[in-house]
Amino acid sequence: MPITQPLVKALGQTERAKVCLVTTGGTISSVYDPQTEVLRPGMSVQTLLESLPKGMGNVEVVQRELFQLDSANAQPHHWQEIADAIKDVNEEMPDLDGIVVTHGTDTMVYSAAAISFMIQNLGKPIVFTGSQIPATIPWSDGPRNLLDSIRVAAFGDIGETCIVFNGEVHRATRAKKLRANSYDAFDSMDPTPLGILARDIVLFEGRKIRHESEPIFDTRLDDLVWLLKVFPGLPPGILLRIAELGYHGIVIEGFGSGNLPTQENALTEAIQSVVRKGCSVVISSQCAFGQADLSVYEVSRAAADVGAISAYDMTSEAALVKLAWVLGHTSEADEVEEMMAKDYVGEVSFSGAVGFGGT
């Protein structure tokens, strides 16, 4: 992929920058509890900053401690709280160059994707980061990730929400956590990362750059959305039960390019039934790379014929968050399908998707 000229700016230059650090817990701020002998979030934002090399050059870091949460406990309302906090600090300090959010890695892609939809056109970086090892441990990846994130927030020519981790910059809606323990926890699921961090910040084409604009803050959500992974032997009645429980949307992770069983344990009739009841069904792929194409195989076209919507090349995590956000705006089937196909924040690159950034 072609790259732009490296942005030759780094900490310690004469230019001043102002970044807000919003902390939400996660491994990066975890401490060891000798009574329970486990790690739990508990490190203050000030202690977290003290783990960094002394001297931040001309970067002023404003601190906001939002909550101390293991990200396994994160819920959709926490996404809204993070969005509200970012909105507040942006209005309080319009001179901010960027915002960093520390977060647990387990559900970081969900939260970061949610912020992408809830805060559009901010025109400056919103950077999510965390670590695999607590920042107080000498070999932790936390200090490096935090320093890299502050660097990108202060000087990176990026105008969207991203994840900075292990020297890479990933679009929030295209990232996936693939490794449980490795420092290299995240990858971008086509296209490649937005950039890399070396001596300079090297950014690739295709990203949204910094710009002056009127930001859109829209935290409406319908969190009654279910993510279901298809497996051989899955009983179709599960879909009916999900709808009976009151869920308004289901993302189904199909095989390959969105294929579903159509013979024994066929899902098509169940999909048709829940769609008729007003429950939106979106088909994504279980594959990390590739896309759900419901036009290729008979076993996927059958789902489209009864009202299922393709997630195209969205990750299942992004599709789930997007469907919750879309259903927060409309429950009309035609409008849901149209909004799911539209590219708002680079979450989908399918050739049929409309625009980037809501255009």
CB 281 within 8 A of CB 306: no
Q: Which of 217, 240, 264 is the last residue of a domain?
A: 217
What is the DSSP code (8-state) at residue 328? T
| 137-186 confidence digits (pLDDT tens) | 889 999 999 999 999 999 999 999 999 999 999 999 999 999 999 999 99
| 262-272 confidence digits (pLDDT tens) | 999 999 999 99
Domain co-membership, 76 together with 146 = yes
Show the beta-strand stretches assigned E in the chain. Answer: 17-25, 30-33, 38-41, 59-69, 98-102, 119-120, 126-129, 161-165, 168-171, 175-177, 186-188, 195-197, 201-203, 216-217, 225-229, 249-254, 280-285, 309-310
Domain co-membership, 229 together with 181 = no
- Could you tell me the CATH number of the domain that includes residue 123? 3.40.50.1170
Q: Is residue 353, in this structure, part of any structural domain at all?
A: no
Q: Is residue 156, in this structure, part of any structural domain at all?
A: yes
- Could you tell me the CATH number of the domain that includes residue 280? 3.40.50.40
Domain co-membership, 140 together with 59 = yes
Domain co-membership, 57 together with 185 = yes
Domains of the chain: total: 2
Domain co-membership, 106 together with 231 = no
Give the global pTM.
Answer: 0.91
Q: Is residue 184, in this structure, part of any structural domain at all?
A: yes
Domain co-membership, 95 together with 152 = yes
Domain co-membership, 258 together with 181 = no
Catalytic residue (one of 23, 24, 27, 136): 27
Nearest to 113 by CA among 250, 316, 257, 328: 316
For β-strands 119-120 and 59-69, DSSP reports them as unpaired
Domain co-membership, 307 together with 181 = no
Q: Is residue 11, in this structure, part of any structural domain at all?
A: no
Bond before 191 cis per omega within 30 degrees? yes
Domain that holds residue 239: 225-341
Top pLDDT among 23 and 51 is at: 23
| 115-130 confidence digits (pLDDT tens) | 999 999 999 999 999 9
Q: Is residue 357, in this structure, part of any structural domain at all?
A: no
Q: Is residue 356, in this structure, part of any structural domain at all?
A: no
> 192 an active-site residue?
no
CB 193 within 8 A of CB 204: yes
Q: Is residue 351, in this structure, part of any structural domain at all?
A: no
